[in-house]
Amino acid sequence: MGYFHEINLKDANDERLMQISKEYGIALNLDEMKKIKDYFLGKKRNPTNVELQSIGQAWSEHCCYKSSKAILKEFVFGIDNGRVISREDAGVVGFDEKHAYALRIESHNHPSAVEPYGGAATGIGGIVRDILCMGCQPVALVDPLFFGNLDIEYKKLPKGVKHPKYLFSGVVSGIRDYGNRIGIPTVSGCVYFDKNYVGNPLVNVGCVGIGKKENITRSAVKKIGDLLVLVGGKTGRDGIHGVTFASEILTEKSEDESRTAVQLGDPIMKEPLIHACLECVEKKLLNGMKDLGGGGLSCVVGEMALAAGFGAEVELDKVPLKEKGLKPWEIWVSESQERMMLAVDEKNLEPVLNIFKGWDVPAVVVGKVIPGKVVRLFYQKAKVFDMDLGFLTEGPVYCRSRAMKKRRKKEKTPNKPNDYNRVILRLLSSANIASKEWVIRQYDHEVKGNTVIKTLQGKIDSVTHADASVIKPLEKSFRGLAISVASAPFFASIDPLKGGKSVIDEVCRNLVSVGARPHSLTDCLNFGNPEKPEVMYDFYETVKGMGEICSYLNLPIPSGNVSFYNETEKGSIPPTPVVLGVGIVDDIRTCVTVDLKKEGNPLYLIGETKNEMGGSAYYRLVKGYSNYVPDVDNKKLKKSMGSLLNAMKKGYVAACHDVSDGSLGVCLSEMCIGGNIGTILDISRINNLRTDIKLFSESNTRWVVEVKKENEKSFVNEMRNIKLSKIGKVKGENLIIRDKKEIINLPVDKIKKEWGQTLWGRMG
């Protein structure tokens, strides 16, 4: 039969095994190919092409986490404070007595490098399905993005690499169009630019959803005899080898060789698919549900069956196709979008099919659950696949070698600036700090009407960035979900352990800034080739740092994603840990925003400023260098958060902003922009440090707060055990800062203009 064939592994030597791996596009190494050969020798037969292709998907780095699983288990998997309900396609955490929220973040890096619009759009589509398959309604999206420098000359681009402006524009458009069309607000994110992301941009996407605890759905079948119902979009040749493509480095040939690995999104199909699935969930008609993401049918069927200790049989010729002529292996591994697999009791089949018919969404029975941990596939009544699920789904696990790269360089302390006005304006207009309004305004961050603390805050004609957004997910409750994103590539590049700690500190600061109690996290860990010991060292240290802080705070990470092989032939990206944090706001009416509110209110700096300039925006600007990256004191972080949240709850705080990129000078400028009002400040009380270090050190666990004047004594008393410095007051129309003498005096209008024009000027 021409539609499937056997592959001769029995007689293959090592060289031939590697030829087969390359010929079939499965990206497996020699040891893995030998294990497959031994397995089928034990079965006294050769594999079919369908079986070999399936193993290639299941054993890819993207699917089985073969290089990262052991390290994640050591540092983060065990953190559980009793609030976690489920750890499957997404993490599910208790929200209130009757409700839970789901959270997940993942990467769509390589597809976005090849086709930025489609790659980003299908990233959103995939992350929404992860939330949906837990039985939750998606309510918010996030988009951490990383690109090369926008002003790089075309002639300096490596061969085959697209310009960062093209990638940036395409990615934002893809996220905009997909998210807006399915009616889910994009409420948080970050945008970084650095030369080391040229050729390999990072497109991370996250989603948070809400659901009733009684409706939380498992990504598993329930019993023998369950019917497997495939719903949603049709299956095509788009997305074939998507996970193996994601598990290789990008080359100048990736554009031509891997374009078919990029899926094609269809938000017009996704929106009714969401409604139909949730209606089935609400009516208790499903025994299980899982999305078809990486590996398509080849992963979802086996994983759902094995999770309950069973197997499955599937008839591939029943799968609805976009086009004629797809071979069985193509149907099995395609990652075509907008598809979900439902496990349905036979007695519930008719009402399920009627619901999907009512929403005009295709739904068809393609298989059933059988005893024994095995999957069998049939095509035109011929058996084309018969494999043990244990072998197929477990995959190899590696403890790869680690070696610290030589990164410590000689300290290079810059001269003290002669003109601090110029330095602060240059920082504010730098691409990593400047206003991201060009991006944010393209997203509908208020669709559904639940975004109560918005992405941009302040007066209508003078908005500034939020530290976190807050969603009101339930109609009859004032309890809120705060959502924020943090990353620390510039810290992790110098000291990955402290970079890992810092990213947790920052996301906690962001959540606390709006009055939210950090509740859970999900992470996307973006690194280079794990087969390189230096990359694995960075990964190990970063995860160790993250785990140390989360363990101390008892802050669970019930879901996440690891993205390796983020490099080109020119080199690796910086180690880039990204965290989506979710916080609980007991009453959204007590939330605090960034923008300054009232003339005469005092301003306080919470936390200690240290000579920790490594990775800082200021040192990058003035070509300084330091090995001393900001560290985190677990105890001070926990105490500071608790005291500040109490002060907010009691109504003492009018505005709050965490001190992060660009440090104190930038923090104060952004607060002035949002309030369209000035400040008079004196930083001479901040430790015995050089003026530029006081202004631009990015030490962790710090906030600037505007205190209501009438509550100042109560606030100081509430913070009595925390490092606190009174630095000035809200006043006038200029940002004025003194350190024994006046060092900065800038009209807020000028600050606003410099901060606001960079991306608009470069992107149009």
pLDDT tens digits for range 591-638? 999 999 999 999 999 999 999 999 999 999 999 999 999 999 999 999
486 contacts 630 by C-beta, under 8 angstroms: no
Biggest CA-to-CA distance, the chain: 86
Using the predicted structure, report yes or no on whether residue 125 has a pLDDT greater than 60.
yes
Query: How remote is the C-alpha of 426 from its chain's centroid?
Result: 29
Structure-block tokens of residue 235: 């299956």
Q: How much is the average pLDDT of 486-498?
A: 97
3-state helix, strand and coil shares in percent for the chain, rounded to the nearest 5: 40, 25, 35
Average pLDDT across the chain, whole number: 93
Give the CATH number of domain 420-763; options: 3.30.1330.10, 2.30.29.30, 3.30.450.40, 3.40.50.620.
3.30.1330.10
Band of residue 241 on the pLDDT scale cut at 50, 70, 90? low
Band of residue 239 on the pLDDT scale cut at 50, 70, 90? low
712-727 pLDDT tens trace? 999 999 999 999 999 9
Band of residue 191 on the pLDDT scale cut at 50, 70, 90? very high
Band of residue 260 on the pLDDT scale cut at 50, 70, 90? low
Query: How remote is the C-alpha of 629 from its chain's centroid?
Result: 23
The Cα angle at residue 588 between residues 584 and 592, in degrees rounded to 5: 95
- Tell me which amino acid residue 146 is: F
Query: Which is it for the CA torsion 635, 641, 642, 647, positive or negative?
Result: positive
Query: How remote is the C-alpha of 536 from its chain's centroid?
Result: 20
Residue 527 CA: distances (Å) to CA of 15, 63, 167 = 30, 16, 19
DSSP 354-379: HHHHHTT--EEEEEEEESSSEEEEEE
187 contacts 141 by C-beta, under 8 angstroms: yes
Q: Could you tell me if residue 296 is left (phi over 0), alpha (psi between -120 and 50 degrees) or otherwise beta?
A: left
How far is the C-alpha of 632 from the C-alpha of 613, rounded, in Å? 14
Choose among 695, 689, 708: nearest CA to 647.
708
224 contacts 373 by C-beta, under 8 angstroms: no
409 contacts 625 by C-beta, under 8 angstroms: yes
Band of residue 27 on the pLDDT scale cut at 50, 70, 90? confident
pLDDT for 261: 54
How far is the C-alpha of 47 from the C-alpha of 59, rounded, in Å? 16
566 contacts 573 by C-beta, under 8 angstroms: yes
Q: Is 62 a catalytic residue?
A: yes
Choose among 333, 181, 351, 204: nearest CA to 266.
181
612 contacts 698 by C-beta, under 8 angstroms: yes
614 contacts 412 by C-beta, under 8 angstroms: no
pLDDT for 25: 86
Band of residue 247 on the pLDDT scale cut at 50, 70, 90? very low
Contacts of 746 (CB under 8 A, 6+ apart): 421, 424, 425, 734, 735
Provide the 3-class DSSP secondary structure of residue 565. Answer: coil
Specify burial of residue 69 (Cβ count, 10 A radius: 0-12, 13-18, 19+): middle
Residue 530 CA: distances (Å) to CA of 67, 400, 472, 533 = 7, 8, 40, 7
How far is the C-alpha of 173 from the C-alpha of 203, rounded, in Å? 12
Band of residue 262 on the pLDDT scale cut at 50, 70, 90? low
403-422 pLDDT tens trace? 988 766 789 999 999 999 99
DSSP 662-723: THHHHHHHHHHHHHT--EEEE-TTSTT--HHHHHH---SS-EEEEEPGGGHHHHHHHTTTS-
Contacts of 183 (CB under 8 A, 6+ apart): 271, 447, 448
Using the predicted structure, report yes or no on whether residue 1 has a pLDDT greater than 50.
no
Least confident piece of the model among 25-29, 31-35, 263-267, 305-309? 263-267
Q: How much is the average pLDDT of 543-570?
A: 95
Catalytic residue among 62, 110, 465, 519: 62
128-166 pLDDT tens trace? 999 999 999 999 999 999 999 999 998 889 888 899 999
Place of tokens 């620390």: 488
pLDDT for 252: 56
Specify burial of residue 302 (Cβ count, 10 A radius: 0-12, 13-18, 19+): buried
4 contacts 46 by C-beta, under 8 angstroms: no
How far is the C-alpha of 168 from the C-alpha of 179, rounded, in Å? 16
263 contacts 242 by C-beta, under 8 angstroms: yes
665 contacts 710 by C-beta, under 8 angstroms: no
Structure-block tokens of residue 82: 């009793």
The continuous run of DSSP H or E covering 734 comes out as strand 734-739
Using the predicted structure, report yes or no on whether residue 251 has a pLDDT greater than 60.
no
> Regarding beta strands 363-370 and 227-232, do their DSSP bridges make them parallel or antiparallel, or are they unpaired?
antiparallel
Choose among 441, 526, 465, 450: nearest CA to 208.
450
Can you give the residue ranges of every domain in the chain?
A: 14-58, 420-763
Using the predicted structure, report yes or no on whether residue 256 has a pLDDT greater than 60.
no
Share of the chain above pLDDT 90, in %: 84
The continuous run of DSSP H or E covering 169 comes out as helix 164-182
How far is the C-alpha of 708 from the C-alpha of 601, rounded, in Å? 6
How far is the C-alpha of 135 from the C-alpha of 126, rounded, in Å? 15
Structure-block tokens of residue 188: 């948080």
Choose among 248, 320, 132: nearest CA to 565.
248
- Tell me which amino acid residue 255 is: E
196-235 pLDDT tens trace? 999 899 999 999 999 999 999 999 999 999 999 999 999 9
Choose among 536, 537, 539: nearest CA to 560.
539
231 contacts 273 by C-beta, under 8 angstroms: yes
378 contacts 43 by C-beta, under 8 angstroms: no
Band of residue 473 on the pLDDT scale cut at 50, 70, 90? very high
pLDDT for 237: 85
407 contacts 494 by C-beta, under 8 angstroms: yes
Using the predicted structure, report yes or no on whether residue 248 has a pLDDT greater than 60.
no
Q: Which ranges constitute the DSSP H helices of 241-365? A: 242-245, 254-257, 267-282, 297-307, 328-333, 349-358
Looking at the DSSP bridge assignments, the partners of residue 102 are 92, 209
pLDDT for 314: 97
Band of residue 246 on the pLDDT scale cut at 50, 70, 90? very low
pLDDT for 250: 59
pLDDT for 360: 96
pLDDT for 2: 56
690-701 as b/e: b if 16+ CB within 10 A: ebbbbbbbbbbb
Q: How much is the average pLDDT of 386-396?
A: 90
Name the DSSP class of 321.
B
The Cα angle at residue 467 between residues 84 and 148, in degrees rounded to 5: 100
Instruction: Output 570 or 102, whichever has higher pLDDT.
Output: 102
Structure-block tokens of residue 52: 């070999």
Structure-block tokens of residue 708: 């209501």
How far is the C-alpha of 78 from the C-alpha of 489, rounded, in Å? 25
How far is the C-alpha of 656 from the C-alpha of 648, rounded, in Å? 9
pLDDT for 249: 57
DSSP 36-94: HHHHHHHTTSPPBHHHHHHHHHHTSHHHH-TTTHHHHHHHTTT---S-EEEESSSEEEE
Name the DSSP class of 187.
E
Q: How much is the average pLDDT of 307-323?
A: 94
Q: How much is the average pLDDT of 438-454?
A: 93
Catalytic residue among 5, 99, 108, 657: 108
Band of residue 3 on the pLDDT scale cut at 50, 70, 90? confident
Choose among 105, 143, 136, 102: nearest CA to 121.
143
pTM, rounded to two decimals: 0.94
Residue 94 CA: distances (Å) to CA of 17, 86, 277, 725 = 49, 10, 21, 37
